[in-house]
Amino acid sequence: MRKVYLDHSAATPLLPAVKEAMLPFLGGSFGNPLSLHNWGDPAREAVDQAREQVAALLGAGSPDEVIFTSSGTESNNFAIKGLASALQSKGKHIIISAIEHFSVMNSARSLEKMGFQLTLVPVDKDGLVNPEDIRQNLRDGTILVSVMHANGEVGAIQPIKEISAITRERKVLLHTDAVATCGNLPIDVTDLGVDALSLAGNQFYGPKGGAALWVKKGVRIIPLLDGGIQEGGRRAGTEDVAAIVGLGKAAEIAAGDIVGRMNKLIPMRDSLIKGLTTQIGHVILTGHPQKRLPGHASFCVEFIEGESMLMLLNSQGIAVSSGSSCTSRALKASHVLIAMGYNHEIAQGSLLFTLGIENSADDVDYVLESMPSIVDRLRQMSPLYSKYIKTNKGGLSNAGL
């Protein structure tokens, strides 16, 4: 059976060159970067190089602005909690979008329990934040705004530059969760105008366990992990050298290849979107049609459930997801789709295809061949669909196929 992996938002395969770069640090170069003897040297030099590679990918002013972490989730927790803690004497109000990843959302909720005030700004039907909504919610005591660069579930790319123009004018810090975009879209932190940015290697062909938070020079942050003097005293814990090296290598490769990757992914994405929305009735593209991640095609398929489609696609060798993998087994309707105005019934039909650089046009064709019969089969068993057909009989006979 053909195997087609289209779940790159959940995990990307490690590039062979990334693995090669990591292997010495799972072998002879096992030293601790902080060791003062020779065994520490290769590890320390490799971590320094990785910091430069990540800084270069972001257009950062200095490698010292890059703090390595263990996951995008840790980066987001660190940013939200660490920046808010550092600024709490100035105020306790935080603004985030309603469609943030749970690592931002729940970090902000944790702060709320500790006495911070939280405002969620809405998004429109395309999943976009209106920068004016940020402006209107800024107030005395607002210390931090966090809006994701792009949403991993619906692919929508947020107007971060427009938002940062507002936050900078008001001298409020802006963090962006760029886990979905870093390595997949060109990023320049100066151009974006942000003060902190989260990224994760496992979203761009680097290792799980290798992630970072970029914090602009001069911006104070309270550590989430207290202890030793690693990462300039901002993130304690023995450095996971292999993962950091892998992240650095993945960043270096991405920096040289982002436009090429986009040029490969966008046509595949668009033919998948066009194919599914035209071949099958009642399929709704979620997220903005153009302002979206290069390899990202997300839909709500009416009358049926995302998990059922996922399982049948899996039985045909196709890997997809029906929302954020971080909550996949919770099987709740996505807070992202609800915030975008979809009702629970339609949100249940969420299906998410995320293409990667190893995919081909044939993979898209295979999906387009497989999907209609899967949808048809599930709709034949769907009480919602039966009800719909009865009340609209004759009018939309091609709704299933």
Which of 61/237 has CB closer to a second copy?
237
Smallest separation, CB 283 to a second copy (Å):
20
The CA distance from 34 to 155, in Å, is: 40
Which of 37/390 has CB closer to a second copy?
37
Residues 238-267 that bind a second copy (CB under 8 A): 238-243
Indicate which single residue of 326, 333, 368, 384 sits in contact with a second copy (rule: CB under 8 A): 326
Known active-site residue 182? no
Residues 106-135 that bind a second copy (CB under 8 A): 106-107, 109-110
Give yes or no for a contact between 363 and 317, defined as CB atoms under 8 angstroms apart: no
Position 118, amino acid: L
Which of 183/209 has CB closer to a second copy?
209
* 201: three-class secondary structure by DSSP: helix
Smallest separation, CB 73 to a second copy (Å):
4
Which of 236/262 has CB closer to a second copy?
236
- Number of residues binding to a second copy, judged by CB under 8 A: 73
Ordered strands of the 283-285 beta sheet? 283-285, 296-301, 350-354
Indicate which single residue of 89, 171, 229, 383 sits in contact with a second copy (rule: CB under 8 A): 229
Smallest separation, CB 371 to a second copy (Å):
15
Tell me: does residue 71 bind a second copy (CB under 8 A).
Answer: yes
The CA distance from 218 to 65, in Å, is: 9
Backbone angles phi, psi at 261, to 5 degrees: -60, -45
Which of 128/247 has CB closer to a second copy?
247
Tell me: does residue 176 bind a second copy (CB under 8 A).
Answer: no
Which of 167/198 has CB closer to a second copy?
198
Tell me: does residue 322 bind a second copy (CB under 8 A).
Answer: yes
Please list, in sequence order, all residues whose beta carbon lies within 8 angstroms of the beta carbon of residue 171, skipping any fewer than 6 positions away: none
Give yes or no for a contact between 300 and 286, defined as CB atoms under 8 angstroms apart: yes
CA-based end-to-end distance of the chain:
24
Give yes or no for a contact between 54 and 198, defined as CB atoms under 8 angstroms apart: no
The CA distance from 76 to 82, in Å, is: 9
Which of 244/272 has CB closer to a second copy?
244
Indicate which single residue of 50, 54, 65, 74 sits in contact with a second copy (rule: CB under 8 A): 74
Tell me: does residue 1 bind a second copy (CB under 8 A).
Answer: no
- Residue in 165, 326, 384, 399 annotated catalytic: 326
Residues 25-54 that bind a second copy (CB under 8 A): 26-28, 30-32, 34-40
Smallest separation, CB 29 to a second copy (Å):
10
Indicate which single residue of 72, 152, 281, 295 sits in contact with a second copy (rule: CB under 8 A): 72
Indicate which single residue of 182, 310, 340, 351 sits in contact with a second copy (rule: CB under 8 A): 310
Smallest separation, CB 232 to a second copy (Å):
11
Quickly count: other Cβ atoms within 10 Å of residue 50's Cβ.
29
The CA distance from 392 to 383, in Å, is: 14
Please give the full DSSP string across 308-322, using - where no structure is assigned: HHHHHHHHTTEE-BS
The CA distance from 207 to 148, in Å, is: 22
The CA distance from 369 to 380, in Å, is: 18
Q: What is the DSSP letter of 292?
A: B
Q: Which tokens go with 227?
A: 């202890």
Residue holding tokens 């703090």? 67
Stretch that binds a second copy, among 6-14, 45-53, 151-159, 293-301 (CB under 8 A): 6-14
Would you please indicate which residues are annotated as catalytic (active-site) residues?
Answer: 326
